[in-house]
Structure 1
């Protein structure tokens, strides 16, 4: 099993003045400890589960760009980009740029979004969930057309492009891997149709979700085994290492259930210490699973 992590909260020691140094330290630990992926949550407000709008929140792709310059090995991904924040062509250009500047390590993480107060508070459109799912599928179609070099006009319900042109192209061919966040039927159907990875929430119904994805893959003519199965959840270990054993056991259990990559949400005032402990005690323990 591979282990990655997501920077999801930013209440760090030293406050804003130390955030650049903290991100640099996180990058160094990720490279040295063998983490596979670094993700950053895509929000402009912090969520209500982690302090709400008054808590600090770094912009996703700016942070990923800094991480790209500080790393050489780890994959880099928004976990996951809200479809309502950016026009599809701009999103494709951003991910392409991240891929080029990182030497081919970018992923497109994409989802329908969920934080209505954030969107309305900051002036972003936030249509109904049904319409946002339509936007996700059209965004994928636009991104794939741009990455394929297909300059024919695109006409969708939500987006229109007269000339989809993307220069330079991504280093990763045919395109940066597409990870779709969420584990409902609509999302898993989109994974089977367009995705390279799914990002599900682990729980007692994990096996049922993966079985449903396998069913959709068969219907879409996709090889289920070529899709990376990832799960996202909070990392929880103490600064003295307490909890590392339990986390290892949990990851091994999910690996046996079919999960390829675990993405842990790192929180707390000292994310570097969290990542050091997990990198030392957990990452090597599950590497062969």
Structure 2
């Protein structure tokens, strides 16, 4: 895949292309032209806030927390991408789709990338400090997961599982921010999010399956091989069952039907997977905003 093709398939035109030329490599390092990752980090946070919110919670506080999580999702996802690219700069040079990333291509130096990571992380810390001590402590607990993620593709066939543990940590932080703890429905939603990530990131990994094999990079897509559609179907089924369990655990089992839109969307994704069509698989991956929103809406009765 050429760099131009990569930009057409993966990046969203807009702010980055209209920004000053000196700023563009840093915005691309932050994946500012690929906002899907911010949504996939933010939506689990919203699940936790919605599922654990106390009766009669002030609407102003509710929306303020969602705004904080939106800002935190943007800066921490940006920091995570920069950190991942810093660690993976040599591997990125060996994969066609990633060899033009800012650090791998030399557009951003490792020293400048490190400074950017520190700055973004400080903003994330400022956001975290607004959430109360239980949420702060749980948030700090994610650091080991974040630090370890770039190395997982070298040592396990299931780096997508590690990503699921990391990317859905916001469920726990969101729940703690509104309730001071993690009630059972939120814990079940965290587990649902892990399987959701296993599904969508397996689809995403199909783009690189040949280059990954040449570079020795492991992934769930490579491990599943010809059974990738069955695997994704299993992951998404577990997502729906665990989300349904959250409703039951919260005493709202009669609202399980609200999960039907998410279930139907997952079924469409599974039916649409094509191992030989990277553009289609990328569109399927990006479409995961919708089941994330559908699950958030389904948790409103809790």
Q: Provide the TM-score with structure 1 as the length reference.
A: 0.30
If each structure's strand is expressed as a fraction of its own residues, which one has the higher value?
1
If each structure's helix is expressed as a fraction of its own residues, which one has the higher value?
2
Q: Provide the TM-score with structure 2 as the length reference.
A: 0.30
